[in-house]
Amino acid sequence: MLLIPCPWCGPRAESEFACGGEAGIVRPGAPDAVSDAEWADYLFMRTNHRGLHREQWWHAHGCRRWFIVRRDTVTCRIDGVEKMGSAGAAP
Amino acid sequence: MTQPARLRHGGRINRDRPVAFTFNGRQYLGCEGDTLASALLANGVHMVARSWKYHRPRGIVGAGAEEPNAIVQLGEGSRTVPNARATQVEIHEGLIARSVNCWPGLEFDLLSLNGLFSRLLPAGFYYKTFMWPKSFWRHYEHFIRKAAGLGEAPTERDPDYYEKFNAHCDVLVAGAGPAGLTAALAAARSGARVIIADEQSEPGGSLLHARESIDGLPAVSWLRRTLAELAAIPDVRVLARSTVFGYHDHNFLAIAERLTDHLAEDRRRGPRERIWRVRAKQVILATGACERPLVFTNNDRPGVMLASAISIYTRRYAVRTGNNAVIFTNNDSAYATVLDLLDAGVRVAAVVDAREQPRGPHLEAARQRGINLMAGSAIVDVRGRRRVQAAVVASLGADANGLRGNDTTVVDCDLIGVSGGHSPVVHLYAQSGGRPLFDEGLAAFVPGPAVQTQRSVGGCRGSFALADCLREGYEAGTAAARETGHDAAATLPPGPGTLERHDYTLRPLWRVPDPPGHARGARQFLDLQNDVSASDVLLAAREGYHSVEHVKRYTALGFGTDQGKLGNINGLAILAQALGQDIAATGTTTFRPNYTPVTFGAIAGRDLGDLFEPIRLTALHAWHVEHGAEFENVGQWKRPWYYPKPGESMHEAVRRECHAARNAVAMMDASTLGKIDIQGPDAAEFLNRVYTNNWHTLKVGQCRYGLMLREDGMVMDDGVTSRLGENHFYMTTTTGGAARVYAWLERWLQTEWPELKVYLTSVTDHWATIAVVGPRSREVMKGVCGDIDFGAASFPFMSFRDGTVAEVAARVARISFSGELAYEVSVPADYARHVWKALMAAGAPHGITPYGTEAMHVLRAEKGYIIVGQDTDGSLTPQDLGMEWIVSKTKDFIGRRSFARADTARPDRKQLVGLQSADPALVLPEGGQIVDRPQWTAPVQTTGHVTSSYFSDALGRPIALAVLQSGRSRIGQTIYVTLGDGRVAPATITHPVFLDREGKRQHG
Amino acid sequence: MAEILRSALHDAAGGRLQIEEIPGLHYVSLRGDPAAPAVAGAVTDVLKIALPLRPNTLAASETAKVFWLGPEEWLLVSLSQSAAEIVSGLRLSLGGLHSAVTDVTSGCTTIRLRGAGSRDVLAKGCTLDLHPRAFGDGQCAQTLLAKAPVLIEALPATQDCQLIVRRSYADYLWHWLHDASRWAQ
Ligand SMILES: [Zn+2]
């Protein structure tokens, strides 16, 4: 069970959180202006990265904040966390 | 004493406390402190099992977790335990144990006659049996399962109590041998919070049988002093009978603590086992090393034991394991066993040492006692069947792959102690994510770099000398404590005194050459539990299996309950040699949790029965119970399903409840709906984005139904939202979707639309909601509420009013999920019971009837109202459901763009329809698949399925909802619903609204 | 406010552990921007308590407590003032500032555990480090106890703790606590 450092509450057990998947997925600003393929890419396609990966997590049973975790998908080592909207943090 | 092989003196057993136990139906006496294995040996019992494939007699080999043969079934009935290791079972008064590997009996074994058949069962037997036609397996399975001799699981419910405990510490130490103890001591002295766990009945590990002194004290005295010091330090926990069985991510480790198994049944109190879930800042692994066998012909005969096990039985348990021993070794450690045997008065007929020029401190000590040392030699064969009778010794050639000539010497003996070196127990290190490395000098896999904040010390790191263990442990304990901010080093007294170090010299010997005239590797056993011999590995290599993982599965090497703790390494080495590559390149199989088996009871803990999942109750639950409701689980909630009167069937009760709702008045507890309070200047805009319809136009005091989609355009939830104020809304969600919707809304607010000024607050538990339904509901409401005008025009459908209901401030909404004139009364849950009873009283003259979820389903299905999650499954759009009317064409919302995708625009998508069964008495089965023709054979293309199906009281016949390909264009056609037993039932496709399609009743 | 649980007091482990419901408290949820002085000001106006801004902490007076729940969320618990008074007082004080004040009194109750074994009982179902050094005076935490969401408050200078639980989970947690304290030391 991972120990996830919530940027507000500090390190907490994984059971308090829900994972929201890959971070940085940009929602097309004008959905009608993109092709079906581009829309499907936004909806379904994820990098499935091996190594350091930015992902959204929700502290469901704590402060109820969404934030970003940088986690190595091979070792599960957590490199750091970012609050939503902090510098350079595309959600 | 009736224990013929019990030594008169020494050991840690209590001779004053005899313990009676039963093994294979015979009564024996042991002593308090004995394991089942030591007690059996004290009684002269060596042969304890038959091997599973060849049914060869087998004896006790080890003294710990590595034991492959002495596998027993404990107890009877509901408390029986399969596959326990006799070497780890503490005896207690009344213990009953039997061998698992001896069907039909240990002494007379029918199957051993089939030893002749052994050529039928070479390596790959299992594998080939699985791969070849499945029907083969059916024939073999019964025979193999029975003969394989695994234990039997209890068939009754487990009567014991198991618990879990979450613990945190600065330093967790796995293993309380010399290295673990000094690690814990140093960390504890530094002020760190320490947990040290050891799998044995008492801490100490090798100190419990060591010959050495520490700080001038005998090892066991030093041990006693150290444990006393640890016990006096706060925040130190010493756990005995506790196996660290799993090392997971982020230094999360699991320990199984066995609390009562060692006690007689009438003395057991409290939990049987406790799982410790430990989050450690630092981990120190001190799991020691496991002695390695030597692989020679007939090395599986009872009486062939690990040398270290002989020492443990001799010094710790005061057991004479034989009268006339031969020791076979390739390193110095077995000479300590020689000394232990000599001390115990056992004759040592010979010491066979594979090394050309043996040396070492124990050897020198033994030499002074006078021994028959046969250097540069090996045992190549064993005489005797049920017990060792003699060892056949030959001279090894220069490279140890062959013999020097054909001369052999026969040495009579009844005990053979073997030491092929030591395998560090790297299991936990490997589980932590580390990769063991092969150390040529030690001829063993040792831990590589740490992956987590972890250190290995002592035997499990390849440091086998006691002095090294003590020193490494102390250093690691100090360092680990320092890294957690505990640095009391300046005031530390010195650690354990220094001991003389010695070099570990061994001559690698993975497989002893075959005796003259024998087939290669036959009956040279690597895995005693699975009867895997060296010849099996050689066969696998010849047949092209080169990966160690493949060879494992082909030969079953290491597949037993002992997971090959003894001979796996020999198998790898033999494979490497056969492939002409080095051992490092061959690698190991994966070390997975659990280190030793853990009971299912412990894994389940208290997550059983009513504690398995939270049972959520509404504020009205007690009333429902008092009035005889039957309950249904909806998510985690208990909801009244129906309220049977005495003698009434479910069908009758539900018809009565529906009848009251359609013809008079009925009421239901709707409190389980999810409720979210939404406030802020952008609240309406927010709703506009998450729902498909327009919310800016909703006026204060009005309610509106909303459909929520995922971004892929599929329906995810629905519910009614009321506008309480210009910037204030009150949303309801489905019962099961509440948590998901709340998380979803927060996600969009926090990650995508942080500019929106909206706050959400969950109020699900605060509000109780009561639905009052039926043509007489207005009369009932008037009876309990004087300050709301209930006129049809002044309080229209889909609006709400604040008022006072039965003296309680309430919100009354005119909402209907039944198609009837209906009101929903919401009050703070503290007042729910009072208001419910007032409504029941006011409704009594009108025949008010409480109804449950079943009647609710019938009523809504008659109207064609969907339940998200029942009539939808995450693959349906609003258009599929015939709900285009709720989808705005003038604004964007989550999911809208997806409607234009080719897949969502397909004309043959499944669509919601009604079904009318041709048989007026048949309620079609929910989940029933739909086929287009009455005659069909599998596989067949199904075109949809029944989602909801009930008997309608209002219509006097069954109704059903279904999703069906191109359904709306097929209304009037006949389809066939499979009944699950090969039959089908014809039904006509209809419009999904069965009753009052114009919606007159709810506007009444 | 009302008593939700059936029996108010449960003695376990020979009286060394007491589990009881504390009824009669009022609960109000507050959401707002901690950077806006009016938010802290409103709480001080109404409850005479300084708004806690540090995660996992609470601030208390003789008659009320304010728990930090999140960077923009607090739970106000009062013994004396009614939720209606607190709600109207806060709304008045906050004026037009974007915020949310919500009465959640009926949705909550409080369970107190007293006795040396209190935290060991919680540790059977809670992954937090409850050692007094890690979870001491003035600290609180939202977490899971068994499988239910709870807000745990450390009571000063003891092993004692209070749990604020959601109404619908109260019965489940009560049974779970009974069960977990069956063999409490
Ligand atoms: Zn948090």
Q: Residue C70 and residue A13: Cβ atoms within 8 Å?
A: no
* CA B472 from centre of chain: 34
pLDDT(A22) > 90: yes
In a shared domain, residues C11 and C50: no
- DSSP H or E stretch at residue B670: none
pLDDT tens digits for range B485-494: 998 765 555 5
In a shared domain, residues B200 and B214: yes
Nearest residue in chain B measured CA to CA from C29: B761
Alpha-carbon distance of C18 to C10, in angstroms, equals 6
In a shared domain, residues B298 and B415: yes
- Distance set, CA B118 to CA B585, B689, C34 (Å): 33, 73, 78
Cross-chain CB nearest to A58 (options B451, B743, B900): B743
The domain segmentation of chain A, as residue ranges, is 3-89
What CATH number does residue B124 fall under?
3.10.20.440
Q: How far is A6 from chain C (nearest CA, A)?
A: 11
Cross-chain CB nearest to B901 (options A28, A40, A66): A40
In a shared domain, residues C112 and C67: no
Q: What percent of chain B has pLDDT over 90?
A: 84
In a shared domain, residues C71 and C18: no
Residues in C closer than 8 angstroms to B617, CB to CB, are: 168, 171-172
**Residue finishing a domain among B762, B782, B816:** B762
Q: How far is B279 from chain A (nearest CA, A)?
A: 9
**Residue finishing a domain among C62, C78, C106:** C106
pLDDT tens digits for range B688-723: 999 999 999 999 999 999 999 999 999 999 999 999
Which pLDDT value is given to residue B649? 98
Domain-located, residue C11: yes
Which pLDDT value is given to residue A88? 47
Total-model pTM: 0.94
Cross-chain CB nearest to A76 (options B250, B277, B901): B250
What CATH number does residue B710 fall under?
3.30.70.1400
Confidence of residue B139 (pLDDT cuts 50, 70, 90): low
In a shared domain, residues C140 and C172: yes
Domain-located, residue B884: no
Domain-located, residue B930: yes
Is the Cβ of B802 closer than 8 Å to some Cβ of chain A? Answer: no
pLDDT(B117) > 80: no
What CATH number does residue C152 fall under?
3.30.1360.120
Contact B705, B670 (CB under 8 A): no
Domain-located, residue C30: yes
In a shared domain, residues C145 and C82: no
Residues in C closer than 8 angstroms to B767, CB to CB, are: 106-107
Instruction: Provide mean pLDDT across the span B970-995.
Output: 96
**Residue finishing a domain among C64, C90, C106:** C106
B611, B672, B686: best to mutate for the C interface, most C CBs within 10 A:
B611
In a shared domain, residues B319 and B390: yes
Strand partners, B562: none
Q: Which residue has the tokens 């106006």?
A: C45
In a shared domain, residues B568 and B435: no
A1, A2, A8: best to mutate for the C interface, most C CBs within 10 A:
A8
Is the Cβ of B163 closer than 8 Å to some Cβ of chain A? Answer: no
Give the count of domains, chain B.
7
Is the Cβ of A9 closer than 8 Å to some Cβ of chain B? Answer: no
Q: Residue B606 and residue C108: Cβ atoms within 8 Å?
A: no
Contact B84, B153 (CB under 8 A): no
Confidence of residue B114 (pLDDT cuts 50, 70, 90): very low
In a shared domain, residues B337 and B229: no
In a shared domain, residues C15 and C62: no
Residues in C closer than 8 angstroms to A15, CB to CB, are: 127, 144
In a shared domain, residues C116 and C176: yes
In the reported structure, the alpha carbon of residue A48 is separated from the centroid of ligand 1 by a whole-number distance in angstroms of 26
pLDDT(B185) > 70: yes
Which pLDDT value is given to residue C63? 96
In the reported structure, the alpha carbon of residue A65 is separated from the centroid of ligand 1 by a whole-number distance in angstroms of 6
Alpha-carbon distance of B942 to B931, in angstroms, equals 5
Which pLDDT value is given to residue C8? 53
Nearest residue in chain B measured CA to CA from A36: B901
In the reported structure, the alpha carbon of residue B402 is separated from the centroid of ligand 1 by a whole-number distance in angstroms of 67
Alpha-carbon distance of B430 to B426, in angstroms, equals 6
pLDDT tens digits for range B745-767: 999 999 999 999 999 999 999 99
In a shared domain, residues B381 and B270: no
Domain-located, residue B539: yes
- Residue C13's domain spans which residues? 6-23+107-182
In a shared domain, residues B326 and B390: yes
Residues in B closer than 8 angstroms to C148, CB to CB, are: 614
In a shared domain, residues B172 and B119: no
Residues in A closer than 8 angstroms to B739, CB to CB, are: 60
Residues in B closer than 8 angstroms to C179, CB to CB, are: 606, 611
- Distance set, CA B573 to CA A10, B189, B312, B587, B753 (Å): 48, 43, 28, 9, 61
Confidence of residue B496 (pLDDT cuts 50, 70, 90): low
Contact B395, B377 (CB under 8 A): yes
Q: Residue A31 and residue B892: Cβ atoms within 8 Å?
A: yes
Segment among B20-34, B115-129, B550-564, B919-933 with least mean pLDDT: B115-129
Is the Cβ of A90 closer than 8 Å to some Cβ of chain B? Answer: no
For each of chain C's 185 residues, which pLDDT tens digit applies?
556 675 555 666 566 789 999 999 999 999 999 999 999 999 999 999 999 999 999 999 999 999 999 999 999 999 999 999 999 999 999 999 999 999 999 999 999 999 988 999 999 999 999 999 899 999 999 999 999 999 999 998 888 999 999 999 999 999 999 999 988 65
In the reported structure, the alpha carbon of residue A61 is separated from the centroid of ligand 1 by a whole-number distance in angstroms of 8
In a shared domain, residues B730 and B810: no
In a shared domain, residues C124 and C98: no
Segment among A77-86, B105-114, B853-862, B973-982 with least mean pLDDT: B105-114
Helix boundaries (H) for B20-82:
36-42
Question: What is the average pLDDT value for chain B, to the nearest integer?
Answer: 93
pLDDT tens digits for range C4-32: 675 555 666 566 789 999 999 999 999 99
Which pLDDT value is given to residue B518? 86
Instruction: Provide mean pLDDT across the span B503-510.
Output: 88
Contact C173, C150 (CB under 8 A): yes
Contact B324, B347 (CB under 8 A): yes
In a shared domain, residues C111 and C92: no
Domain-located, residue B33: yes
Cross-chain CB nearest to C31 (options B193, B619, B759): B759
pLDDT tens digits for range B43-71: 999 999 888 778 889 999 999 999 999 99
What CATH number does residue C83 fall under?
3.30.70.1520
Closest CA to B252 of B273, B285, B284, B283: B283
Cross-chain CB nearest to C176 (options B611, B618, B764): B611
In a shared domain, residues B787 and B663: yes
Which pLDDT value is given to residue C17? 87
Instruction: Provide mean pLDDT across the span B554-583.
Output: 90
Cross-chain CB nearest to A85 (options B251, B712, B754): B754
Which pLDDT value is given to residue B152? 86
In a shared domain, residues C124 and C173: yes
**Residue finishing a domain among C72, C106, C140:** C106
Question: What is the average pLDDT value for chain A, to the nearest integer?
Answer: 93
Contact B301, B413 (CB under 8 A): no
More confident position, B58 or B150 = B58
- DSSP H or E stretch at residue C104: none
Alpha-carbon distance of B352 to B333, in angstroms, equals 13
Which pLDDT value is given to residue B105? 58
pLDDT tens digits for range B376-418: 999 999 999 999 999 999 999 988 889 998 899 999 999 999 9
Is the Cβ of B900 closer than 8 Å to some Cβ of chain A? Answer: yes
Confidence of residue B358 (pLDDT cuts 50, 70, 90): very high
Is the Cβ of C148 closer than 8 Å to some Cβ of chain A? Answer: no
Contact B800, B790 (CB under 8 A): no
Sign for the CA dihedral angle at B136, B140, B145, B148 comes to: negative
Give the count of domains, chain C.
2
Cross-chain CB nearest to B763 (options C31, C104, C126): C104
In a shared domain, residues C115 and C166: yes
> Which CATH number, 3.40.50.12280, 3.90.180.10, 3.40.50.720, 3.30.2270.10, labels domain A3-89?
3.30.2270.10
Is the Cβ of B889 closer than 8 Å to some Cβ of chain A? Answer: no
* Touching chains, B (3+ CB pairs < 8 A): A, C
Residues in A closer than 8 angstroms to B897, CB to CB, are: 28, 31-32, 34, 39
Is the Cβ of C70 closer than 8 Å to some Cβ of chain A? Answer: yes
In a shared domain, residues B67 and B208: no
How many CB atoms neighbour CB B501 within 10 A? 13
Q: Residue A8 and residue C128: Cβ atoms within 8 Å?
A: no
What CATH number does residue B174 fall under?
3.50.50.60
pLDDT tens digits for range A52-72: 999 999 999 999 999 999 999
In a shared domain, residues B211 and B178: yes
In a shared domain, residues C119 and C102: no
pLDDT(B909) > 50: yes
Residues in B closer than 8 angstroms to A40, CB to CB, are: 901
Which pLDDT value is given to residue B153? 87
Confidence of residue B113 (pLDDT cuts 50, 70, 90): very low
Q: Residue B712 and residue A13: Cβ atoms within 8 Å?
A: no
Which pLDDT value is given to residue B562? 82
Alpha-carbon distance of B620 to B852, in angstroms, equals 13
What CATH number does residue B794 fall under?
3.30.1360.120
Nearest residue in chain A measured CA to CA from C142: A62
Nearest residue in chain B measured CA to CA from A33: B897
Whether ipTM > 0.95 holds is yes
Which pLDDT value is given to residue B102? 60
What CATH number does residue B573 fall under?
1.10.10.1100
Alpha-carbon distance of B442 to B583, in angstroms, equals 12
Which pLDDT value is given to residue B559? 82
Domain-located, residue C1: no
pLDDT(B970) > 60: yes
How many CB atoms neighbour CB B874 within 10 A? 11
- Residue B108's domain spans which residues? 14-131+143-148
